[in-house]
Amino acid sequence: MKKKVVVLSGAGVSAESGISTFRDSGGLWDNYRVEDVATYEGWLRNRKLVLDFYNQRRKQLLEVEPNAGHYELARLETAYDVHVITQNVDDLHERAGSQHVMHLHGELKKARSTADPNYIIELDGWELNEGMTCPKGAQLRPHIVWFGEAVPMIEPAAELCAGADYFIVVGTSLVVYPAAGLVNHVPQESPKYVVDPKEVYAPIHNVTCVKEPASSGLKKVVDELLHIASRK
C-alpha cells in the first residue's frame, strides 16, 4: 500500500513557467484591483473588465508549459499515492502528469452558467465573451472562486489532509483562507515540507523548510521521499 503524499500548491509553483504570482512585486494584485476582477460585485459592476482579465490569463496559459517543479510532483507518483490540492486555476499540474489534482479556486479553462452553477463547460479557445450563454440563455462566467464566494472543495480537501502521511506546501504565501487553514488538518506526526524562496509562516510541527524555488526545492523533497520509499 503506497503512502499518501498531499500537496498544497499556490501561484509560486507556476512562477517558473512564466505565470505571475499574486503578491510578489509586480504580481497580479499590483496591476489589478482584486475587487474589480475577482469578486462577484466586480462582475456585476463591469462584466467586460472581468471577462477581459481572465481572457488575458487564459491566453497566456495556452503559451506556457509546466516547469520542473510540476514534473517533480508527477515523478513522486512512482512510489506514493499523491494528491495535489491547488489554489491555482491553471492546468499545469495535470499537463505535467499529476493524476489527482483538486482545484480549490476553480479552473481557468472552464466556464459556468450564471443561471445554473452545475452547468460547467470546458472552453475551446482562450476567449469567454459577453453573449456566450448556457442553453438557458444565461451569460457564462469564469469557473473561478472569487473572493467572498464559497470554496466547494474545502471539505474533501481537509479530509485528504487529515489522511496525509507526508505534506508538501509549495509556492503559496498561506494568506488566503480557507485554503491556508488546510495545514491544520494534517496529522502532527506527519512530516511536512515547505518549498518557497521566501520565509513562509506555517503554524505546523515537524516541518522542513526548503528555501528554494519550486524547480530545485521540489527535486530535493522528491529525492528524499523516493529514497525513504526505496528503503521500505
Are the beta carbons of 160 and 101 closer than 8 angstroms? no
Helix axes 214-231, 68-75, angle to 10 degrees: 10
Q: How far is the CB of 230 from ligand APR (least distance, A)?
A: 26
* By the rule CB under 6 A, 24 interacts with ligand APR: yes
82 closest CA partner among 147, 166, 149: 166
Tell me the per-residue interface mask from 143 to 182 with ligand APR, x by CB under 6 A, - otherwise. Answer: ----------------------------xxx-xx------
Residues 92-111 that bind ligand APR (CB under 6 A): 105
165-180 burial, b if ≥16 CB within 10 A, otherwise e?
Answer: bbbbbbbbbbebeebb
* By the rule CB under 6 A, 11 interacts with ligand APR: yes
4 closest CA partner among 205, 159, 160: 160
* By the rule CB under 6 A, 37 interacts with ligand APR: no
Cell numbers for 188, please give them.
502532527
Active site residues: 105
* By the rule CB under 6 A, 214 interacts with ligand APR: yes
Tell me the per-residue interface mask from 68 to 87 with ligand APR, x by CB under 6 A, - otherwise. Answer: -------------------x
Binding residues vs ligand APR (CB under 6 A): 10-12, 15-16, 21-24, 27, 87, 105, 171-173, 175-176, 196-198, 200, 213-214
